A and B are shown apart, each in its own frame.
Chain A
Amino acid sequence: MPDPTADADIHERLRGRDYREAFTLLLPRYRDKVFRLSVSMLRDQARAEDITQEVFLRIWRALPGFQGQSALSTWIYAITKNACLSELRKRRPQVSLDDDEYDSEVASLAAPEVDDSATVSVGQLLERLPERYRQVVTLFYMEDKSYDQTAASLGLPLGTVKALLHRARKRLIELTREDAASTS
């Protein structure tokens, strides 16, 4: 759960309709978090940077309409996830993104080209994980191993993040062993 006292300074500016100042406080606080969440979803830093810019433009335009029904961070991460899903949809417009189908579809949408070189890196092993595992692992390490920030960015309960991360590491160890066995 987001801290209800977080971003009190920004909320104060918003109540005073000082949107420019609110945005000036918000940008350095959320810029990198939005960028990392975008990277974890899109798997592409250049596209993630473009999407981060688009997200903050959307935030700037929508800021006067933000009523504080949810935490500011929740609102920002929701905008980010929607922007990333739209970006993924643009590439494969025929794919629907219902919740039940989310994992496999997002994985297929964002999947990079297969690298069949002899040495398998951990990055390549990551691509063989289920999408939810991959996304949690990616964000957890990019967020300096912070469970709280990973949970906040993904909008998942802390326990779910831990469980997914633990399962992901176990699976990565298994994949490493399988890979070693197949090459020996």
Chain B
Amino acid sequence: MNDRFEPAERNEHHAAWDERLQDWLDADLDAAQTALVESHLAACPVCRERLAELREIDAALADALPRLALDEAFDRRLLAQIHEQDSAARAEARRRAEEEFAAGATALARGWRRSLVLVVTGAIAGAALASALLGQLEASILTEALLTHAPGALDQGWYQLASTMLLGGGIGAMIARWLATAAE
């Protein structure tokens, strides 16, 4: 029956109908196209033969390539791994935060200690310098003027102490600041 086509004609016939036969096989045609293919198949042995080949390869492929799926065990393993990774990430973040806090606290304590040392050093140096300066200026015009205008209850010793403290504080603050800048 198939001998009514020469090989070349058969190829042309295949080319013309092959796409529609495959669409028909995949149920991918509308009603009108389906009817057209089925009426052609009823009358064409070449296309029936071709359809048999297509069906055979289709069935073999469907057997060889099943619809693979993963099971719930996969989900459990995956969720356990996510949990493990999240826990590890949280622990790492906590460890890093603790490290940063400890480093900050250490830096703060070191800063306080350094400030204290600088202030004490500055104060001592300032007081020493002020005392030396005031010793030299004991009978200066400034002291005279202060004593002249001071209330009678206060004596010269108090004014010398106050002057030493004021001058010493000022010089000490400048020295402490200079030391701090040098330490930076």
29 residue pairs bridging A and B, Cβ less than 8 Å apart: A27-B75, A31-B75, A32-B68, A35-B69, A35-B70, A39-B68, A45-B68, A52-B70, A53-B78, A56-B78, A122-B61, A137-B65, A138-B65, A141-B62, A141-B64, A142-B65, A142-B67, A143-B67, A145-B26, A145-B62, A162-B23, A162-B28, A165-B22, A166-B19, A166-B22, A169-B22, A169-B54, A169-B57, A172-B61
Contacts of B26 in A (CB 8 A): 145, 147
B136 to chain A, nearest CB (A): 73
Interface size class of A (residues with CB under 8 A): 20 to 34
Pick from B65, B77, B85: contact of A141, CB under 8 Å: B65
Cα-based distance from A126 to B58 in the complex (angstroms): 12
Question: Which chain A residues have a beta carbon within 8 Å of chain B's beta carbons?
Answer: 27-28, 31-32, 35-36, 39, 45, 49, 52-53, 56-57, 60, 121-123, 126, 137-138, 141-145, 147, 162, 165-166, 169-170, 172-173, 176
Number of interface residues of B (CB under 8 A): 28
Q: List B1-48 residues whose CB lies under 8 Å from chain A.
A: 18-19, 22-23, 26, 28
Residues from chain A with Cβ under 8 Å of B57 in the complex: 122, 169, 172-173, 176
